[in-house]
Amino acid sequence: MHINWSGLGEVFAIALAAGVGLVVLFSLGIAALGRRNNEGEATAVNTAVAGVCFLACVALVGYGIYLVVAK
Amino acid sequence: MDVSLIVIVVIVTALAFDFTNGFHDTANAMATSIATGALKPKIAVTISAVLNLGGAFLSIEVAKTISGGIVDESRISPAVIFGGLVGAIIWNLATWLLGLPSSSSHALFGGLIGATWVASGSGAVHFSTVVEKVLIPAVASPIIAGVVATIATYLAYKLTTRTNPDTRTAGFRAGQVVSASLVSLAHGTNDAQKTMGIITLTLITAGSLAPGSQPPLWVILAAGTAIALGTYLGGWRIIRTMGKGITDIETPQGFSAEASAAAVILTSSHVGFALSTTHVCSGGVIGSGIGKRLAEVRWGTAGRMAIAWLLTLPAAAIVGALAGEIASQGTLGTVVVAIVAVAIAGGIYAASRRNPINAENVNEVPALATTGS
């Protein structure tokens, strides 16, 4: 019986990085958005952080769509 | 172009299978978005249907085999393919009636294995390939997706603990629209291909197309339309199980489950290690329940799903073997199988009407999950 352990491991490692990475980036973006309403926090900085996070998410999703289409 | 009856029957049956594939698997992409209210039920299935249709045209790679090497394709006749498709359709309808998400690919493989075994003997079934391409992915998919979704969900809550709950819910709700669409698109590029491959190869064996032909445009259109129509109809029974039956889903969980599922599906198809979309998405939902502290995972429902997964291959194989054997007897046999299959499908539909689940009541918690388990 042949089990493709390296393929399985590869899927697990990449999916873990991409899936968790996407959720972490998005969560950080939402956290930054939420902080804009707090008093005493720099609104511009938080807006910028949120923007960078969401842009990174878009890039990651775009790469995913590219993989689907280019396959 | 001379097309025999059996070829026409196979094409129609393949499109019928594609249709059941569509409504069976809508839940994979859209169940969590519907459960959290990120998308209205009707809008969710519409998006999913459009992306499934689009996915059918997007993917360039043509499914070159019917079975992916699971059975010896030089020993398959159109009657065997017909038998396999009937087995897959009936199993898909039966699990839909029970609201259980099971893999449409496994149902198709099971049907083909059963029909081939009876027609050409066990030697025509490549059992080591069955283990490699069906059994191991069936175990690995939900575990991988479950672990990724558990970690992702935990972090999604951890990173936003001090965020205003309204901001958090609204933010992840917006994210869910994108993540659900991504799963739909990945699904469309994979599943419509299967039916296209079956129809194209049947036309080739019948001599209507030259060997090595690409699917004609009408095949792509027909397959894409069948899966899109099925998706639009919505497999509400399965959507309810996935969205409400396994765990109570909030938007951060829904986003994490979908993002994890999309990551796992895209990675696996890119690496070339085929995983089952259904098993990945179910694993993602379970993981999103584990990852949220104090969230209840209804293991009774998860267990019933696991049993359905175990039964999918043998159950579809038995129906496929019977149907293939009778259909092999000639035109009369084919007609008999077709009539019986339509009758069974009608019976299952009639049974579903006694307890209808639709876009209006899809988000009510199923009675089984609250009283059972």
The full DSSP string for B103-131 is -HHHHHHHHHHHHHHHHH-GGGB-HHHHI
Find the helix or strand (DSSP H, E) in which B142 lies: helix B136-159
Residue B72 phi, psi (nearest 5): -70, 105
pLDDT at B122: 87
Lowest mean pLDDT across B173-177, B256-260, B269-273, B334-338: B269-273
Lowest mean pLDDT across B40-54, B63-77, B169-183, B215-229: B63-77
Alpha carbon distance, N-terminus to C-terminus of chain A: 29
- What percent of chain B has a predicted confidence (pLDDT) above 90? 41
Angle between helices B165-205 and B217-233 (to 10 degrees): 140
pLDDT at B138: 82
Judged by CB atoms closer than 8 Å, whether chains meet at B159 and A64 is answered as no
Size of interface A-B (CB pairs under 8 A): 138
Closest CA to A65 of B20, B334, B58: B58
pLDDT digits (tens, 9 = 90+) for B174-222: 999 999 998 888 787 777 778 888 888 888 877 788 877 788 889 989 9
Closest CA to B248 of B76, B35, B15, B18: B35
Largest CA distance in chain B: 70
Q: Give the number of residues written for chain A.
A: 71
Residue B224 phi, psi (nearest 5): -60, -40
Beta bridge partners of B125: B71
Chain A residues with CB under 8 Å of B165 CB are: none
- Contact residues, B window 291-350, toward A, CB-based 8 Å cutoff: none
pLDDT at B62: 55
pLDDT at B373: 35
Split at pLDDT 50, 70, 90, the class of B128 is: confident
Q: Mean pLDDT across the stretch B27-31?
A: 88
- Contact residues, B window 154-173, toward A, CB-based 8 Å cutoff: 155-156, 159-160, 162-164, 167-168, 171-172
Residue B354 phi, psi (nearest 5): -70, -25
- Is the Cβ–Cβ distance between B126 and A1 less than 8 Å? no
Beta bridge partners of B71: B125
Residue B278, pLDDT above cutoff 60: yes
Report residue A49 as tokens: 């952080």
Report residue B146 as tokens: 């479950």
Judged by CB atoms closer than 8 Å, whether chains meet at B182 and A61 is answered as yes
Q: Mean pLDDT across the stretch B1-9?
A: 74
Q: Does A61 touch chain B (CB under 8 A)?
A: yes
Split at pLDDT 50, 70, 90, the class of B285 is: very high
Split at pLDDT 50, 70, 90, the class of B63 is: low
Judged by CB atoms closer than 8 Å, whether chains meet at A23 and B155 is answered as yes
Question: 10 Å Cβ neighbour count for B215?
Answer: 22
Judged by CB atoms closer than 8 Å, whether chains meet at A69 and B136 is answered as no
Q: How far apart, in whole angstroms, are the C-alpha atoms of residue A57 and residue A23?
A: 9
Q: How far apart, in whole angstroms, are the C-alpha atoms of residue B58 and residue B37?
A: 29
Of A36-40, B137-141, B307-311, where does the model show the most confidence? B307-311
Residue B71 phi, psi (nearest 5): -125, 160
- Contact residues, B window 190-229, toward A, CB-based 8 Å cutoff: none
Q: Which residue has the tokens 């979704």?
A: B149
- pLDDT, greater one: B368 or B340: B340
With b meaning 16 or more CB within 10 Å and e meaning fewer, what string describes B335-367? eebbeebeebbeeeeeebeeeebebeebbeebe
Chain B residues with CB under 8 Å of A68 CB are: 55, 58-59, 185-186, 189, 266, 269
Closest CA to B102 of B299, B356, B310, B319: B310
Q: How far apart, in whole angstroms, are the C-alpha atoms of residue B103 and residue B279?
A: 7
Closest CA to B145 of B264, B275, B302: B264
Alpha carbon distance, N-terminus to C-terminus of chain B: 57
Q: Mean pLDDT across the stretch B300-313?
A: 90
Find the helix or strand (DSSP H, E) in which B351 lies: helix B331-353
pLDDT at B371: 38
Q: Does B362 touch chain A (CB under 8 A)?
A: no
Judged by CB atoms closer than 8 Å, whether chains meet at A23 and B132 is answered as no
Please state the separation of Cα B328 from the chain's center in Å.
Answer: 28
Judged by CB atoms closer than 8 Å, whether chains meet at A2 and B255 is answered as no
Angle CA B140–B144–B147, to nearest 5? 140
- DSSP assignment, residue B293? T
Chain A residues with CB under 8 Å of B131 CB are: 1
Structural domain boundaries of chain B?
3-352
For B71, the 3-state DSSP assignment is strand
Q: How far apart, in whole angstroms, are the C-alpha atoms of residue B367 and residue B241?
A: 11
Minimum-distance CB partner of B160 among A12, A31, A67: A31
Q: Mean pLDDT across the stretch B288-310?
A: 87
pLDDT digits (tens, 9 = 90+) for A15-67: 999 999 999 999 999 999 888 877 677 788 889 999 999 999 999 988 888 87
